[in-house]
């Protein structure tokens, strides 16, 4: 008995049969005495179809009009789900992002939620209605429709859960939880019953595609209890929360990311402010930098290597070359044939030797390590692309995660 | 140089090529120095496709959710048209009904526009932007999306023209104007260069499908200059306005309506209040009655005949039978094998013998007349179905409308 937010992705609402499946989950939750807010994405390929339509008339449409166009996708799935629930005899209403009071900044196609005015939502919940809200969208100060960009519907769900003080935010997806590593690579990977926000954040940013980082960040900020579960199996799923059982495994999961490129600047003059210049330059152009290593080079110089996503590689290289005089380096090189493999776990910080154990697993598997970066709860290594699955298996076995 | 509202139907925006055609018309108008507000319907079959999707999940969805669903159709075409115009380098913005300030009553799926707050529209026009507005929809007092029902986009266009004091409201369609009669029946039918609101209203209510009555009523009420023209030929079209050149033809047009059924009640007791009872009963159930004739029957009784649309026939008959005691009649009969043929023209009222000339044309063509009804600007007759095209030709010739 409480208030539960349930989010369903595009695959879960793709057709009539799936809509009925979702309606069953929602109404079961409602029948159990809970208030229910449902957040939906656009059906299956709807968003891609709309993007294609736009491309036909304009290869470079304004983001403002794209948001106007794309936001219809969620409006369609929200009203169809409401009708499905109506047909089962339950009180229900669908609301667009703006009807649900979701106010965003004005950054079209990648906006952020600023606040949620819950007046309408509360009124509908008070009427004992199931409330369906379109994910992925809101309204900016100009009264224009905005979309939240990638992972937007997860973020909508968490934001609504936070604003309405929901007891739980369930993210329904096509996997039944968060695993110690990708079960397609390691068949005996184990489903986690719970994971902390920080661990989930590291896993998400390291390539696990279960939850989008933004939604986890928001859940952490407002301490929203989240749960990842499958709309098909309806199994228990994985709970994401602030504090998890500390008796649990030291290493929570192993993950990989192939969308990574290494950039190296060699023979940088060893004077203060060099690193600052490089990374503030990249930050100015919104290029996210991941692993960073600075090493001593020859003859009073140093070398700096770091990784960016492959999509940002060209822009990053251009920026560095165009600012060669400002930065002052000898040689610029890059490599896209690399892969990042990481272990994550809140227990690491208090357990000595975790990193060493990971390196040992890689050594045993004859895998060479190019770069290493560590934080309190993760260790990442850069290795040759093609070796990542072998690395994951070796690490998973070493830590006995199965 | 002025402010022009242009409305384009679903066929006109059905695909990329047609969107480009519409964009050309709009930008030509803009380049001529005019402010332009464009009203669009949903693309081609979009609305039907959405209705089908709804049917799959619920055979009887609520009108509120249907409006939520269907309103996406215009939002898609409005944003796509905006992108098309963007690609041609013109400043443009698309607005939903609620963004355009269109407030309606709460009658979902058949709502009426109550008022338009033009603040946003004016601001966009002041920025010299072409403004695209979704037709067919608005927002009610609960902040819910409503749709205007049949002919809704025409009504949106006229309402916006009235609210913004536009100089002209152009309704683009697939015919190039209003004709003296259907050119498919009478090949030498003539296009009218202008027609009065009253004449257009009679023509529309008598079966001419060019403009929906509601839009003409609103144009008359707010004295909006309208023009019906083709988005393909871009020919001059027909102007609809308050006062038209009185030198023009006495009879403006000939039209037919096959969606009509005759109901007759015979042997009604000849006491006051009988007609009132019948027609207030039908009005209570929203059944529109058209031609009404009352005649003297036998033995101090009277007969009353009237026509309704075929869709209302069964309900009307049921109502009358269930209230037989209240009304007090002897016999109830009906006939669906009838057709209504009408002539319309503001000049009739000052020209004697117009009706007689019409009857003569029908007599010459050996067509029997079942019922006759006249108003100041029209004469309608009910004849056997199947004879209507012959009747139209005969009348068109008699009045030399070609």
**Predicted confidence (pLDDT) at residue B349 exceeds the cutoff of 70:** no
Nearest C-alpha in A relative to B123: A142
Give the integer Cα–Cα distance in Å for B14 and B11.
5
- C-alpha A362 chain-centroid distance: 27
DSSP A55: H
| CB-CB neighbors (< 8 A) of A61 in chain B | 83, 86-87
| CB-CB neighbors (< 8 A) of A65 in chain B | 79, 82-83, 86, 93-94
**Predicted confidence (pLDDT) at residue B90 exceeds the cutoff of 90:** yes
**Predicted confidence (pLDDT) at residue A350 exceeds the cutoff of 70:** no
CB A257 within 8 A of CB A213: no
User: Cβ–Cβ of B68/A144 closer than 8 Å?
Assistant: no
Give the integer Cα–Cα distance in Å for B292 and B302.
13
Give A295's pLDDT tier (boundaries 50, 70, 90).
confident
ipTM: 0.78
Instruction: State the first-to-last Cα distance of chain B, in angstroms, to the nearest integer.
Output: 35
* Mean pLDDT value across residues B204-227: 84
Q: Does A63 touch chain B (CB under 8 A)?
A: no
Per-residue burial over A82-103, b = 16 or more CB atoms within 10 Å of its CB, e = otherwise: bbbbbbeebebbbbbbbbbbbb
* Mean pLDDT value across residues A310-331: 91
pLDDT in tens, A149-188: 777 999 999 999 999 999 999 999 888 888 888 888 888 8
Question: What is the reported pLDDT for B330?
Answer: 87
Q: Which of A9-13, B178-182, B246-250 has the highest mean pLDDT?
A: A9-13
CB B145 within 8 A of CB B134: no
Element housing B283 (H / E): helix B274-284
Tell me the average pLDDT of chain A.
90
**Predicted confidence (pLDDT) at residue A48 exceeds the cutoff of 60:** yes
pLDDT in tens, B102-123: 999 999 998 999 999 999 999 9
Of B90-94, B281-285, B308-312, give the lowest mean pLDDT range: B281-285
DSSP B278: H
Question: What is the reported pLDDT for A275?
Answer: 80
Please state the pTM of the whole predicted model.
Answer: 0.80
Provide, rounded to the nearest whole percent, the portion of chain A with pLDDT above 90.
59
pLDDT in tens, B225-266: 999 999 888 888 999 988 765 545 578 889 999 999 999 998
CB B336 within 8 A of CB B265: no
Give A244's pLDDT tier (boundaries 50, 70, 90).
low
CB within 8 Å of B392: residues ≥ 6 apart: B181, B182, B185, B186, B254, B255, B256, B341
Give the integer Cα–Cα distance in Å for A301 and A117.
56
**Predicted confidence (pLDDT) at residue B5 exceeds the cutoff of 70:** yes
User: Cβ–Cβ of B72/A76 closer than 8 Å?
Assistant: yes
* Mean pLDDT value across residues B193-203: 87
| CB-CB neighbors (< 8 A) of A102 in chain B | none
Question: What is the reported pLDDT for B298?
Answer: 67
Give the integer Cα–Cα distance in Å for B360 and B367.
10
CB B176 within 8 A of CB B230: yes
> B293 exposed, middle or buried (CB, 10 Å; 0-12, 13-18, 19+)?
middle
Question: What is the reported pLDDT for A208?
Answer: 63
Residue B138, annotated as binding a ligand:
no
Nearest C-alpha in B relative to A99: B143
Question: What is the reported pLDDT for B300?
Answer: 77
* Mean pLDDT value across residues A241-261: 77
Gyration radius of chain A over CA positions: 23
Would strands B145-147 and B137-139 be described as parallel, antiparallel, or unpaired? antiparallel
Give the integer Cα–Cα distance in Å for A374 and A361.
17
pLDDT in tens, B287-342: 888 888 777 766 778 888 899 999 899 999 999 999 998 888 889 999 999 999 99
Q: Which of B61, B71, B75 is closest, CB to CB, to A68?
A: B75
Q: Which of A15, A19, A57, A86 to mutate: most B Cβ within 10 Å?
A: A57
Max Cα distance, chain A (Å): 79
Residue B179, annotated as binding a ligand:
yes
Q: Which of A79, A80, A88, A90 to mutate: most B Cβ within 10 Å?
A: A79
Question: What is the reported pLDDT for A201?
Answer: 86
CB B156 within 8 A of CB B7: yes
CB within 8 Å of B282: residues ≥ 6 apart: B289, B308, B316, B319
CB within 8 Å of B315: residues ≥ 6 apart: B285, B287
Give B211's pLDDT tier (boundaries 50, 70, 90).
confident
Question: What is the reported pLDDT for B248?
Answer: 52
Give the integer Cα–Cα distance in Å for B112 and A311.
51
Give the integer Cα–Cα distance in Å for A174 and A164.
26
Q: Which of B59, B67, B80 to mutate: most A Cβ within 10 Å?
A: B80
* Mean pLDDT value across residues A129-149: 96
CB within 8 Å of B107: residues ≥ 6 apart: B146
CB A177 within 8 A of CB A238: yes
Question: What is the reported pLDDT for A32?
Answer: 96
Nearest C-alpha in A relative to B124: A142
> What stretches of A242-285 adopt beta strand conformation (E)?
253-257, 261-269
Work out whether the CA dihedral A323, A326, A332, A334 comes out positive or negative.
negative
Higher pLDDT, A250 or B361: B361
Question: What is the reported pLDDT for B244?
Answer: 61
Q: Which of B19, B65, B94 is closest, CB to CB, to A79?
A: B65
| CB-CB neighbors (< 8 A) of A59 in chain B | 87
**Predicted confidence (pLDDT) at residue A225 exceeds the cutoff of 90:** yes
**Predicted confidence (pLDDT) at residue B43 exceeds the cutoff of 70:** yes
**How far off is chain B from A77, nearest CA to CA, in Å?**
8
User: Cβ–Cβ of A65/B79 closer than 8 Å?
Assistant: yes
**How far off is chain A from B21, nearest CA to CA, in Å?**
11
Higher pLDDT, A278 or A70: A70
Give the integer Cα–Cα distance in Å for A240 and A224.
9
User: Cβ–Cβ of B86/A61 closer than 8 Å?
Assistant: yes
Element housing B380 (H / E): strand B378-384
Question: What is the reported pLDDT for B352?
Answer: 67
Work out whether the CA dihedral B130, B134, B139, B145 comes out positive or negative.
negative
Tell me the average pLDDT of chain B.
90
| CB-CB neighbors (< 8 A) of B120 in chain A | 143
Per-residue burial over A300-316, b = 16 or more CB atoms within 10 Å of its CB, e = otherwise: ebbbbbbbbeeebbeeb
Domains and their CATH numbers in chain B: 3-173 (3.40.1160.10)
Higher pLDDT, A60 or B280: A60
């Amino acid at each position: 008995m409480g208030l539960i937010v349930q989010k369903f992705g595009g695959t879960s609402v793709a057709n009539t049969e799936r809509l009925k499946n979702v309606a069953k989950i929602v109404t079961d939750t409602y029948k159990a005495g809970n208030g229910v807010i449902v957040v939906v994405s656009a059906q299956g390929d709807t968003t891609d179809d709309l993007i294609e339509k736009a491309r036909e008339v304009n290869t470079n449409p304004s983001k403002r009009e794209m948001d106007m166009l794309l936001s219809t996708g969620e409006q369609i799935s929200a009203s169809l789900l409401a009708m499905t629930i109506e047909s089962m005899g339950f009180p229900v209403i669908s609301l667009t992002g703006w009807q649900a009071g979701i106010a965003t900044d004005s950054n079209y196609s990648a906006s952020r939620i600023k606040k949620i005015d819950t007046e309408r939502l509360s009124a509908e919940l008070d009427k004992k209605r199931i409330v369906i809200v379109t994910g992925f969208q809101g309204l900016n100060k100009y009264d224009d429709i905005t979309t939240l960009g990638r992972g937007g519907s997860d973020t909508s769900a968490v934001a609504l859960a936070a604003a309405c003080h929901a007891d739980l935010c369930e993210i329904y997806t096509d996997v039944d939880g968060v695993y110690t590593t990708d079960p397609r690579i390691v068949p005996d990977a184990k489903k986690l019953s719970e994971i902390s926000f920080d661990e989930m954040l590291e896993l998400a940013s390291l390539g696990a595609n279960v939850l989008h980082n933004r939604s986890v960040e928001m859940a952490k900020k407002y301490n929203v209890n989240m749960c990842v579960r499958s709309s098909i199996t309806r199994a228990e799923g994985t709970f994401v929360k602030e504090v998890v059982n500390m008796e649990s495994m030291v290493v929570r999961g192993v993950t990989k990311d192939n969308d990574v490129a290494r950039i190296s600047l060699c023979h940088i003059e060893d004077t203060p402010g060099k690193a600052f210049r490089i990374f503030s330059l990249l930050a100015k152009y919104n290029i996210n930098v991941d692993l960073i290593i600075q090493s001593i080079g020859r003859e009073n110089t140093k070398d700096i290597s770091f990784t960016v996503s492959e999509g940002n590689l060209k822009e990053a290289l251009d920026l560095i070359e165009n600012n060669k005089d400002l930065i002052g380096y000898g040689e610029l090189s890059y490599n896209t044939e690399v892969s990042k493999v990481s272990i994550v776990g809140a227990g690491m910080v208090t357990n000595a030797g975790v990193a060493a154990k990971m390196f040992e697993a890689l050594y045993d598997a004859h895998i060479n390590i190019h770069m290493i970066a560590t934080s309190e709860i993760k260790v990442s290594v850069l290795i040759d692309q093609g070796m990542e699955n072998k690395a994951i298996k070796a690490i998973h076995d070493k830590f006995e995660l199965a």
